[in-house]
Chains A and B, each alone.
Chain A
């Protein structure tokens, strides 16, 4: 846990110079090391938590609007803090404390954000509040991409969502297209550092944007857009998974997020057809309930075959939520609901039998599915 990544990288350079590792191999080893190093370790986690606390101290310092210190003095405090963070990061990186170095970079980005707020406050800038967050986001992206710093990229992912949310608040009914290029920049940074958790953060941010944009575009038809995008993502991951994974291994996540989006859309179509706040009228449950269950069973089978655990659990959860929702909403009468569950139950059991036969035909290499 305390092994220095820099020292390991230096070792790889040495092995490469000695001819034990070819240049391509050395690069792959380093990439693997970087990716593995993004994992949590206690000292690094504590350092990041400490930075978060100091960042809040800086923000409170700004909010206090303490007049005893002149504007210039206040600016100097934050400017010095900003430079000290990056100089400190340099020292820490050179001594091989990479985790602490990245925490110092995060501190620099946090002080940059606090400084923006301080300047806006000192000069009474009303401006457009999202613009301030946008500038902070640009600073976080610059640090994340140029320094290859995962904590800065993580902060950028959070700022992306805050920025988009604030922009929509100031201009409702307009789709926030500006989100996409900034998201692409963040995705580029995460792809370069191969940071797995960052990929999930960005996937969540994009999912948020897709849902919000679709409903901004049309309150009535946005759900079909979300469904289409979700299915396209899921099918795309199935059809082009090999090609995508040769670049970065993200097709399993693509499938899971696509499924999640499609399921959210299907829930809205079935149970909130008139919008989120318009009473309890339900859609055509016979048709959409059947489609939803068929998609869930299909996703479950695919996830099982490809050993995609997150998609598998998502499909299980979706199945449980779907049947409970159908049971509560009722398909006409209780008797009809009972008939629906009986028929779909028999169909799924028939599928189970077919799957069992196929499984045995291939040969019992694994235990039967529970």
Chain B
């Protein structure tokens, strides 16, 4: 009986080979994380979402600010069709309000990716950490954390409480979303450099 290690290709039998392979695999994984994010922010459609405070008493926790949006708690009318499974992704169809404020709101939510979009509508992928069958599910779009330098969160907390804060968000064709920056009264305050 030969040990499994004897049947491996030569590169895996030398320790140097395996060390280099592991380093390369890990670097590739990290590189892909960065690449995927940069692609999303660079090519995604830009929308602006006003930020509402999650909990005025404990908005700032550790070194990130928790963010929530009007679309985080959609109206009951959005939930007409079949709901996604508990921990599965759901697809929210969003469009801007026709009023001058042009706040994005959810039109409907479906378990599968919708194909029949009207002009101006986009799809955003969402999870419901508390479950989709709650009375009013809270949705997460992957936009709920904004990391800030140590000790600078309080200023943002105050701005969010005054409802002046908005997030500039990029959404790609698959519905993935990423924060590009923050704005106060329409003026960019935090612009996220890619590198």
Contact = CB atoms under 8 A, between A and B. Distances in A.
Interface of A: 27, 31, 63-67, 70-72, 75, 79, 82-83, 85-87, 89-90, 93-94, 105, 108-109, 112, 115-116, 119-128, 135, 138-139, 142-143, 146-148, 170-171, 173-174, 192
B25 A142 contact: yes
B184 interface: no
A66 B145 CA distance: 17
A126 B143 contact: yes
B34 A119 contact: yes
Given A90-B16, A126-B143, A128-B127, A71 B22 contact: no
Interface size for chain B: under 10, 10 to 19, 20 to 34, or 35 or more residues?
35 or more
Nearest to A112: B26
Contacts of A89: 19
Contacts of B87: 170-171, 174
Contacts of A124: 143, 145-147, 178-179, 192
A67 B192 CA distance: 11
B100 interface: no
Interface string B1-43: 0011100000010011011111101110110011001000100
B178 to A, nearest CB: 7
Contact of A72 (B3, B29, B195): B195
B48 to A, nearest CB: 16
Given A86-B19, A105-B19, A125-B37, A139 B26 contact: yes
Q: Rank and list the top 8 A-B pairs by shortest CB-CB distance, nearest first.
A: A72-B195, A86-B23, A171-B87, A146-B18, A123-B37, A112-B26, A126-B144, A126-B142
Interface of B: 3-5, 12, 15-16, 18-23, 25-27, 29-30, 33-34, 37, 41, 62-64, 86-87, 127, 129, 140-150, 178-179, 192-195
11 contacts: A27-B3, A65-B63, A65-B149, A79-B27, A86-B23, A94-B16, A112-B29, A126-B140, A147-B18, A174-B87, A192-B5
A171 B19 contact: no
A356 B139 CA distance: 69
Contact of B150 (A64, A87, A93): A64
Given A86-B23, A119-B37, A124-B178, 14 more contacts: A66-B149, A79-B30, A83-B23, A85-B23, A86-B20, A119-B30, A125-B178, A135-B33, A143-B22, A146-B12, A146-B18, A147-B19, A148-B18, A192-B5
Nearest to B34: A119
B86 A125 contact: no
A70 B195 contact: yes
| Most chain A Cβ neighbours within 10 Å, of B5, B18, B23, B194 | B23
